[in-house]
Amino acid sequence: MLQKTKSKIILLILLFSFPQLSFIPLSNLSKNFLPPYIAENDCIDAWIIVCGDRSDHELSTQIWLTSQWVYHQVQACGIDEEDIYYIVADYDKGYTAFEDNITSDASLEYAFQTWAPSKVGASGFLGVYMVSHGGSNSMSITPFGSYTAAELDEDLAAFEAASGCDRILVIYEACSAGTFLDEPSDDNRIIITSTAPSLSSYLSPTPPNRAMFADNFFPYLVAGYSVGEAFAHANVDITALGYGTSQEPHIEDSHDAIGHPVNAWGILPNGGDGIDANLLFICGPCQDIFILPPFYLKIPIKQWFPWDQVVVTIPVNVQIEHTTVIDSAHVRVVPSNWEPPIPTDPEAMGGWDQAEDTYRFPLTLDPTGSGNWTGMIELFGPDRGDYRMTFIVEDVDGNRGPIAATQLGINDEGTAPEDTVDPTVTIRNPYEGQIITEPITVVAFGADDNSGLEDIQLLINGDIVETEVMPNYLPYPELTYNLDPAAYGNGDLNITAIATDNEGNTASFSITVTIESNPKIPSYSVWVLMSAVSVGLFVIYLVVKREIK
């Protein structure tokens, strides 16, 4: 009798112990165990490229040249020809040998609802690039009228239903392209537009004058940058060329139908948009050959020259890093108040300034063997004031490097005036409110358009942990610091970057992140743990019961 009583007591203990474990709130166990966003390498399975036109065929050559160039760019990202469906305007069908159809309502329906589902499975990824003239919620596809944001959304939904895939990247380049940000917005979609709802899109001022957003976006993708990084760099390049107030690219990946540009410091995320894109790499891991374009390694910080009513001559000496053969390098110089030409109407893509040839000055390899690239700028009858200088380089394969920008000043003395303007500084990684559970790299960068930066300091909870002394040339290096959350207790952590220029002016930027160096057990592990405990307790019960007998 005593043995049976002991057995029942043990069984009751086991039965009452198990429910106490099983009723632990799973949300408490799994909350914030993993970083909220993890970098994703995701090769796009297929691309749809759409080239439109309008009835007067304005700039049609540049538009279809852009679409054809994008075709080759996505190939460089590892996409085979049979996985690209390329449709061009009826007017342009004789200019390219590899289009699949003309752009029409029927071909768009086929592309999204039949062709794409045959190429992309449920776990796949679809890319879409569209370029044309455009108006509010419409893309011109003459002679077939227009293609609307609502029709794009319907076609994307049909593709999702047919393929089971909802992972889609859409890039739309046209005037008023931002009006396409809301209706196509949906879970797992990234919508990128070349400009805001009420602004124009332009052709690049640099020959062969492709559409400017694509011209500055795709080279970064091919070079291995994330979608968000390529978007931010394209914004920087567009601004450097003087178009920043006339064309403002937007992105929508938070699925709230409200897109945003980069933030005030030229980076993402902003307004909740850009987090997904920042961590999404669609080219680097998918390419057979990694393509590194040439780039400017050293350009001068702002210099001052004495005014002359006839001509001001400015020598240029820069360094270019390259692994391929350089085809051309030049510097573009415009007054700081220069504005892009006004498009012929609100729905027309903007062209380039007819005086553009006078703004460009070639650079050639220094014959002395220094390895530098040199040139001479001659400004005839210049005004006093600041001038924007942008350096552009391209290799023989058409790979264009990042645009490097600086300034020059012209005044009576030819010397820099007193600098009373603060520099700028920001923290690119991590972002405000991020939860950190594992080591990360903190990245800060700064700029100063006048006397130049002296250094950037990084402080954590008020203590200086890193200092980056700046060189006397551009581009300035980023400050990086490896942050190990295990070195700090759980809770909020203040990260501050302070930039100081060469005249002693300072600026600071701070964020607060949350450290969880001892993350809680993820929810899936709880079930494994409960199962293991249950089996273990039952085994113990059987053993004890046998011993009692």
Instruction: Identify the CATH number of the domain in which residue 266 sits.
Output: 3.40.50.1460
In a structure prediction context, what are the per-residue pLDDT tens digits for the chain, which is 549 residues long?
Answer: 434 343 433 333 333 333 332 222 222 222 222 223 345 678 899 999 999 999 999 999 999 999 999 999 999 888 999 999 999 999 988 787 789 999 999 999 999 999 999 999 999 999 999 999 999 999 999 999 999 999 999 999 999 999 999 999 999 999 999 999 999 999 999 999 999 999 999 999 998 999 999 999 999 998 889 999 999 999 999 999 999 999 999 999 999 999 999 998 888 999 999 999 998 999 866 776 667 788 999 999 999 999 999 999 999 999 999 888 999 999 999 999 999 999 999 899 999 998 999 999 999 998 887 889 999 999 999 999 999 999 999 999 888 888 999 999 999 999 999 999 999 999 989 989 999 999 999 999 999 989 999 999 999 999 999 999 999 999 999 999 999 999 998 999 999 999 999 999 999 999 999 999 765 444 444 444 455 445 455 545 444 455 544
Same domain as 507, residue 544: no
CA distance 188 to 201: 26
8 A C-beta contact, residue 458 and residue 495: yes
Same domain as 464, residue 445: yes
Per-residue pLDDT, 536: 54
Asked whether residue 11 is assigned to any structural domain, the reply reads no
Same domain as 540, residue 393: no
End residue of a domain, out of 411, 442, 460: 411
Question: Sign of the CA dihedral 323, 329, 335, 339?
Answer: negative
CATH number (domain holding residue 396): 2.60.40.10
Alpha carbon distances (Å) from 215 to 130, 209, 277, 372: 14, 9, 19, 26
Asked whether residue 164 is assigned to any structural domain, the reply reads yes
8 A C-beta contact, residue 214 and residue 70: yes
Residue 317: CB atoms within 10 A of its CB come to 14
Pairing between β-strand 440-447 and β-strand 424-429 as defined by DSSP bridges = antiparallel
Same domain as 366, residue 305: yes
Residue 397: CB atoms within 10 A of its CB come to 12
Same domain as 381, residue 525: no
Q: 146: which 2 tokens? A: 């227009």
Same domain as 220, residue 208: yes
Asked whether residue 189 is assigned to any structural domain, the reply reads yes
Element counts in the chain: helices (H) and strands (E): 10, 30
Same domain as 321, residue 360: yes
Backbone angles phi, psi at 119, to 5 degrees: -110, -25
Same domain as 325, residue 458: no
CA distance 303 to 387: 10
Roughly how many angstroms between the first and final C-alpha of the chain, as a whole number? 11
Asked whether residue 419 is assigned to any structural domain, the reply reads no
Same domain as 400, residue 530: no
Asked whether residue 480 is assigned to any structural domain, the reply reads yes
Per-residue pLDDT, 180: 98
Per-residue pLDDT, 293: 83
Same domain as 317, residue 182: no
Asked whether residue 149 is assigned to any structural domain, the reply reads yes
Instruction: Output the pTM of the full model.
Output: 0.83
Same domain as 60, residue 161: yes
Give the total number of structural domains in the chain.
4
Backbone angles phi, psi at 91, to 5 degrees: -65, -25
Q: Could you tell me the residue range of the domain that residue 382 belongs to? A: 295-345+354-411
End residue of a domain, out of 363, 381, 411: 411
Residue type, 337: N
The residue assigned the tokens 């809680």 is 520
Asked whether residue 266 is assigned to any structural domain, the reply reads yes
Asked whether residue 459 is assigned to any structural domain, the reply reads yes
Backbone angles phi, psi at 391, to 5 degrees: -105, 130
